[in-house]
Amino acid sequence: MNTVPEARPMDVVLDAPRAAAQDAPPIVELRGVSRRFATSLDFAAKLAKRLGVKVREDVVHAVDGVNLSVRKGEVVGLVGESGCGKSTLGRMVAGIMPPTDGTVLWHGRDLKALSGAEARQAKLRTQMIFQDPYASLNPRLKVAEIVGEAPAFHGLVGRGGLDDYVDEQLRRAGLDPALKRRYPHQFSGGQRQRIGIARALAVQPDFLVCDEAVAALDVSIQAQILNLFMKLRRELDLTYLFISHDLGVVEHLSDRVVIMYLGRVVEEAPAEEVFARPNHPYTRALLAEVPRIEARKRAFAGVKGEIPSPLNPPPGCHFHPRCPHAFDRCRVERPALREIAPGHRSACHLNDAA
């Protein structure tokens, strides 16, 4: 395939500014948010259900009673093993998936209570960037159409100014506007991610939810895209929820890190604090004996055993079957996420025993 070479080789040093955002108002706040999914029934079970026969439907507890806020100007890193509910939580934060229980507040207002126009505003101002940009780029549209479609539709720019507007977004995302008549398949993976970012920027968001946004890219390209996110943060005053299974990525980028395990938040703290003084046994296991330089490759090397199925999560503390410190209480009682130091919360019964 004839791809265009990477347009802007960049210095791969990550330089996330750790802005003090503790006092800023939350852009999004989740209060006691849960999301369950009924597993899909096979044909016979569906038929039986339709005929009024009681059919046992299994329920996946993807997200279970999460409180989380993302403040204006923050970069929040959300980390956990595959299947722990990160993407589901990200979609609820972005307002594109409603919770089964709990409330999502956007700039202090219940998302469900917004008028049609306000809900559209909320959707535009919060944009999601996904792992596989190619899957969400229409292969039949040229880059200029992909980037220009939404701002034109929403009246953010007049037809006369659209061409220049698209060029500006492409430049911001590190792409040469001269390439805008090309199709997505003519670009490399990193450049496609830049097209996805230009498309998101084109609707003038203030909040980006990045779901494994660099996971599919080579390490050197990952660093370029991460640098781009941080540059955009400085230029456009953006706020980020950065979802990743990769502790290395999150460490470099985040002001605050939230660790999830089987649908629940088990620890959250300023990034330096999580890496210097991890409290929860799960967080400590994640970080255990992971030499900094190797963190990318061995993000979860320290955690023994498999993550249990969210179809049937263990009672009490979900982590107890894998926890070397578990005692009786852990097997029956859900630990509350409580403050153990300023801005540092952990959900572990060991903190009460201490």
Binding site for ligand ATP (CB under 6 A): 37, 60, 62, 80, 82-88, 245, 310
In whole angstroms, the minimum distance from the beta carbon of 59 to ligand ATP comes to: 9
d(CA 279, CA 276): 10
| Residue 11, burial from CB neighbour count under 10 angstroms (0-12, 13-18, 19+) | exposed
Name which of 62 and 238 has its Cβ closer to ligand ATP. 62
Asked if residues 256 and 69 have their Cβ atoms less than 8 Å apart, the reply is: no
Number of other residues whose CB lies within 10 A of the CB of residue 179: 17
In whole angstroms, the minimum distance from the beta carbon of 216 to ligand ATP comes to: 12
User: In the chain, how long is the greatest CA-to-CA distance?
Assistant: 69
Q: How far is CA 193 from CA 98, 110, 212, 265, in A?
A: 26, 32, 11, 29
Ordered strands of the 109-110 beta sheet: 59-71, 26-38, 101-106, 109-110
Asked if residues 281 and 323 have their Cβ atoms less than 8 Å apart, the reply is: yes
Name which of 59 and 276 has its Cβ closer to ligand ATP. 59
Name which of 87 and 279 has its Cβ closer to ligand ATP. 87
In whole angstroms, the minimum distance from the beta carbon of 2 to ligand ATP comes to: 32
Phi, psi of 287 (to 5 degrees): -90, -15
In whole angstroms, the minimum distance from the beta carbon of 310 to ligand ATP comes to: 4
d(CA 118, CA 125): 10
Name which of 62 and 157 has its Cβ closer to ligand ATP. 62
d(CA 168, CA 69): 32
In whole angstroms, the minimum distance from the beta carbon of 250 to ligand ATP comes to: 13
Asked if residues 304 and 313 have their Cβ atoms less than 8 Å apart, the reply is: no
In whole angstroms, the minimum distance from the beta carbon of 81 to ligand ATP comes to: 7
Name which of 106 and 261 has its Cβ closer to ligand ATP. 261
In whole angstroms, the minimum distance from the beta carbon of 93 to ligand ATP comes to: 12
Number of other residues whose CB lies within 10 A of the CB of residue 285: 20
Number of other residues whose CB lies within 10 A of the CB of residue 66: 24
Q: Which amino acid is at 246?
A: D
Name which of 89 and 152 has its Cβ closer to ligand ATP. 89
Name which of 84 and 295 has its Cβ closer to ligand ATP. 84
